[in-house]
Each structure stands twice: as structure tokens, then as C-alpha cells.
């Protein structure tokens, strides 16, 4: 049995689906179901006894204590977080509450549980904390990619809150001996990605005849990883990672934002041409830049590749094609989540 937090979100739900596709080990899935949590992602597991869904907060110590005592997981994987940089700029408080205070409470509950374990149950137990490359700050175009030795220099309320959670996880290892692992991954994309983030937002807006908003000059660089490759990396770190260590996860796929958007437009032009014969590129609109916008992220995943033998299966070209096709095939999923609350966010952000 494993306990996954945030398993109804984008990466967490991909992880749960992927885990149960290749293992019969059951999953307890604790998720608060914020605007970003969506049980539709897990609809294929609705009558699967290997998946136990519990709605709740990682900061609810009594609830987490109860789940740990009842299910006795051999590992806890923490995906739960507020994850959108732009939302953290409009309202940082939820980020502090979940990413910092919530992680602290989760660590306290897990520490008490782990202290009570004995023998091989105790030595085999792991807490895997899922984090981001954004904790390292921003790179110049001439800088080498981030490796695990880079200093933490977070620039947004989101990345600062994730950095704080990483530090707490580290401290619980050094101070209490808690067997932790941390992964710092680059930008994910793929199925079930909430359309507030660049790639799903652009696909959604393109298909609905809306502007494709590019912040600033569109030359900011991100390093893109297909979500399934992130899931295989997490499984690999869980099974073979060295306790107390951190592992950078990335796809060696650095792309300027504008190029990503052009690529999506070209795929849509081929798969679902506009009725008027024009390219979706004509919907591109430059808008005000994100405050404090990090210019470039890039991940050096050598350690994960050399020490644990992990490699991404997808290139950006194959992964983005699958992603666009998934959105075309799953329009009802998109329609369900782009109602009420989502529209209010879009109005606030892009007015
Ligand atoms: P997401 O926003 O899609 O999902 C987050 C999930 O956590 C949602 O289901 C939400 O309901 C749940 N949640 C939020 N607060 C909670 C709380 N207090 N208690 C329990 N559940 C709560 O996020 P994502 O993109 O899937 O990211 C998952 C994790 O991976 C995050 O920790 C994020 O920082 C990290 N990460 C994301 C990316 C990326 O590109 N998306 C890259 C690297 C790391
Ligand atoms: O690097 C990992 C991080 O990647 C994760 O930790 C975060 O949880 C995840 O949201 C993502 O953060 P980004 O800020 O990089 O992702 P986002 O999709 O919001 O933006 C990607 C780039 O596109 C960024 O440079 C901002 C730009 N952008 C974004 C939006 C939403 C636009 O130009 N226009 C937009 O409308």
C-alpha cells in the first residue's frame, strides 16, 4: 500500500493511473479537491478496489494520522500543492498554507507514524516529496542547466513556498532521520493538464477561437517533460533513490514559449484545420508580462540517468503530438472543468 497526496491533480492523477496500470499494490489517494483537483481524471478507477480516494487536507494531522494507522503504507508520495505561479502572484496565502504549513503538518504525522514502525517496515519506509526546478531561480541563456548543487534562489511566491517545503523535508531527514527523497522536476505537459497552464490553455483557446496569450516577448525558455516520463522517474527514485538525496528530473527539451505555441498551432492546423483556412498562429496575442518572470529553466538530469538508469521515453515532438491529440479526443473533460470558477480566473488574469 502507498499513500499519494494530491492524486486528483494533473501529475498526481497521471501517477496513480500509471501506478495501477503496472502494479496491484493499492493506493490511498488523499486530495482536498481544490479547483485543480478533478475526480474525472480518475473515472476509470471508480470501481477499482485498489484505489481508495479520501477527500481531505494534508494539513489535517488527525486525518493523516488515521489514514497512516489504518492503511499502514510503505511509502507516502507528496504531490499535493498549490501549483500555479500566476495564482501565487494574485494570492500567495493559499500557497503558504498548503505548500509550507501543510507539508509541515504532513511531515509531523509521517514522523510519528515512522517512529512507531519496527524492523524492516521501518527501514523500508520512504517519504517522497515531489518538487520543482523553480526553486533554483532563473538562468541566463549562457548558463549551464540546474544540477542538484545549484543554490536555491526562488523568485515567485509559488517557488518560495516550494523551496520552504523542500527545506523542511531536508531538515526532517537530518534532524529526525526520516527517510526522505526529493525530486525537482521541470515543466510537465500531457493529459489532464488544467487549462490555466500554457500548453493546455493554448490548445483550449485555439479551438475556441480565442487569443493565444504570450507573456512579454515569448522568448522565456522552459524545459518540457511529458508527464508519464515524470511518473516513471518518481517510481525509479522511490525504488532505488538514496535516502536523504535530491534528484533533478528533466527532458533535455528546452524551448522558448513562442516556439511551443507555434508547434501547437502547426499540429492543430494539420489535425483540425480552422474553417476559414487560416493558421491558428493568427490568434497569437502578446500580453503584459508576468511580474518577476523567470527567463529560463533548464534541468541537468545526469544524476538520475547515471545513478538510477532513468531516461525519458518521449521527445518534445512525440509528446506534444500525443498531448494535442488527447485534448482533441477528450473535449468533454475540458468542457467540464472550464465552467464557472475557471472563467472567473481567466477574466481576472487576462482582462
Ligand atoms: P495541480 O495543481 O494540478 O494539482 C494539485 C493537487 O493537489 C490537486 O488535486 C489539489 O486538489 C490538491 N491539493 C491542493 N492543496 C491540497 C491540500 N492542502 N491537501 C490535499 N490536497 C491538496 O498540480 P500538479 O501540476 O499536478 O503538480 C503536482 C506537484 O508537482 C506539485 O507539488 C508541484 O509543485 C509539482 N511540480 C509540478 C510541475 C508541473 O509542471 N506541473 C513540475 C514540477 C513539479
Ligand atoms: O518548472 C516547473 C513548473 O512549471 C512547476 O513547478 C509549476 O507548478 C508549473 O505550473 C510550471 O510553471 P510555469 O510558470 O513555468 O508554467 P506555466 O504553464 O504557467 O507557464 C509556462 C511559460 O509560459 C511561462 O514562461 C509563462 C508563459 N505563459 C503562461 C501562460 C499561462 C504565457 O506566455 N502565457 C500564458 O497565458
Q: Whose CA is nearest to atom 35 of ligand 2?
A: 198
Question: Is residue 340 predicted with pLDDT exceeding 80?
Answer: no
pLDDT at 269: 98
Give strand pairing partners of 132: 185
d(CA 268, CA 273): 6
pLDDT at 52: 98
Q: What is the mean pLDDT of residues 233-245?
A: 98
Q: Whose CA is nearest to atom 17 of ligand 1?
A: 57
- Ligand 2 centroid, distance to 294 Cα (angstroms): 10
Question: Is residue 344 predicted with pLDDT exceeding 90?
Answer: no
d(CA 222, CA 188): 10
pLDDT digits (tens, 9 = 90+) for 105-164: 999 999 999 999 999 999 999 999 999 999 999 999 999 999 999 999 999 999 999 999
| Helix (H), strand (E), coil (C) string for 269-332 | HHHCCCCCCCCHHHHEEEECCCCCCCCECCECCHHHHHHHCCCCCCCHHHHHHHHHHHHHHCHH
Q: Whose CA is nearest to atom 4 of ligand 2?
A: 187
134 is catalytic: yes
d(CA 215, CA 294): 11
Q: pTM for this structure?
A: 0.98
Catalytic residue among 31, 133, 196, 314: 133
Q: Which domains does the chain have, with CATH numbers?
A: 2-188+226-252+292-313 (3.40.50.720)
Q: Ligand 1 — pocket residues by CB below 6 A? A: 5-6, 8-12, 30-34, 36-37, 57-59, 79-83, 98, 102, 130, 132, 162, 185, 187-188, 194
DSSP 171-210: HHHHHH---EEEEEE-EEESTT--TTSHHHHHHHHHHTT-
pLDDT band at 288 (very low <50, low <70, confident <90, very high): very high
pLDDT digits (tens, 9 = 90+) for 176-193: 999 999 999 999 999 999
158 is catalytic: yes
pLDDT at 343: 85
Collapsed DSSP state (helix, strand, coil) of residue 105 = helix
pLDDT at 341: 82
pLDDT band at 100 (very low <50, low <70, confident <90, very high): very high
- Ligand 2 centroid, distance to 222 Cα (angstroms): 8
Cα-flanking dihedrals φ and ψ of residue 230, to 5°?
-65, -40
pLDDT at 204: 98
Q: To the nearest whole number, what is the mean pLDDT of the chain?
A: 97
Q: Ligand 2 — pocket residues by CB below 6 A? A: 83-85, 132-134, 186-187, 197-198, 201, 213-215, 220, 222, 257, 290, 297
pLDDT at 66: 98
Distances (CA, A) of 204 to 90, 150, 261, 263, 322: 23, 36, 12, 15, 15
What's the distance, Cα to Cα, between the start and end of the chain in Å? 46
pLDDT digits (tens, 9 = 90+) for 189-232: 999 999 999 999 999 999 999 999 999 999 999 999 999 999 99
Distance of CA 48 to the CA centre of its chain: 24
Identify the residue whose cell numbers are 522517474. Answer: 233
- Residue pair 303/247 in contact (Cβ under 8 Å)? The answer is yes
d(CA 296, CA 134): 10
Q: Which of 159, 257, 323 most suits a substitution to test ligand 2, by most atoms within 8 Å of the C-beta?
A: 257
Q: What is the largest CA-CA distance in the chain?
A: 68
d(CA 31, CA 303): 31
List the one residue out of 200, 224, 214, 243 whose CA is nearest residue 338: 200
- Residue pair 197/215 in contact (Cβ under 8 Å)? The answer is no
Q: What is the mean pLDDT of residues 16-25?
A: 97
Amino acid at each position: 500500500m502507498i499513500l499519494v497526496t494530491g492524486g486528483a491533480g494533473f501529475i498526481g492523477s497521471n501517477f496513480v493511473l500509471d501506478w495501477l496500470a503496472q502494479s496491484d499494490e493499492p493506493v490511498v489517494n488523499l486530495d482536498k479537491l481544490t479547483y485543480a483537483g478533478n475526480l474525472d481524471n480518475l473515472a476509470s478507477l471508480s470501481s477499482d478496489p485498489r484505489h481508495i480516494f479520501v477527500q481531505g487536507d494534508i494539513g489535517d494531522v488527525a486525518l493523516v494520522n488515521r489514514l497512516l494507522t489504518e492503511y499502514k503504507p510503505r511509502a507516502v508520495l507528496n504531490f499535493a500543492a498549490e501549483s500555479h505561479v500566476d495564482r501565487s502572484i494574485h494570492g500567495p496565502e493559499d500557497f503558504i498554507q498548503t505548500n509550507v504549513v501543510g507539508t509541515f503538518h504532513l511531515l509531523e504525522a509521517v514522523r510519528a507514524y515512522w517512529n512507531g514502525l519496527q524492523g524492516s517496515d521501518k527501514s523500508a519506509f520512504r517519504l517522497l516529496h515531489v518538487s520543482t526546478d523553480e526553486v533554483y531561480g532563473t538562468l541566463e541563456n549562457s548558463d549551464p542547466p540546474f544540477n542538484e548543487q545549484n543554490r536555491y534562489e526562488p523568485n515567485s511566491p509559488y517557488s518560495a513556498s516550494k523551496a520552504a517545503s523542500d527545506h523542511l523535508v531536508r531538515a526532517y531527514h537530518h534532524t529526525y532521520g526520516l527517510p526522505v527523497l526529493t525530486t525537482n522536476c521541470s515543466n510537465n505537459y500531457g493529459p489532464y493538464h488544467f487549462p490555466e497552464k500554457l500548453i493546455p490553455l493554448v490548445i483550449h483557446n485555439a479551438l475556441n477561437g480565442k487569443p493565444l496569450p504570450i507573456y512579454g516577448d515569448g522568448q522565456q525558455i522552459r524545459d518540457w517533460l511529458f508527464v508519464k516520463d515524470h511518473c516513471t522517474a518518481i517510481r525509479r527514485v522511490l525504488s532505488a533513490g538514496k535516502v536523504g538525496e535530491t534528484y533533478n528530473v528533466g527532458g533535455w527539451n528546452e524551448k522558448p514559449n513562442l516556439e511551443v505555441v507555434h508547434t501547437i498551432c502547426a499540429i492543430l492546423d494539420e489535425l483540425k484545420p480552422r474553417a476559414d483556412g487560416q493558421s491558428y498562429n493568427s490568434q497569437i496575442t502578446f500580453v503584459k508580462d508576468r511580474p518577476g518572470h523567470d527567463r529560463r529553466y533548464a534541468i541537468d538530469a545526469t544524476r538520475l540517468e547515471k545513478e538510477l538508469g532513468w531516461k525519458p521515453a518521449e521527445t518534445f515532438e512525440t509528446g506534444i503530438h500525443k498531448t494535442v491529440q488527447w485534448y482533441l479526443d477528450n473535449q468533454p473533460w475540458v468542457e467540464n472543468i472550464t465552467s464557472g470558477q475557471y472563467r472567473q480566473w481567466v477574466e481576472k488574469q487576462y482582462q
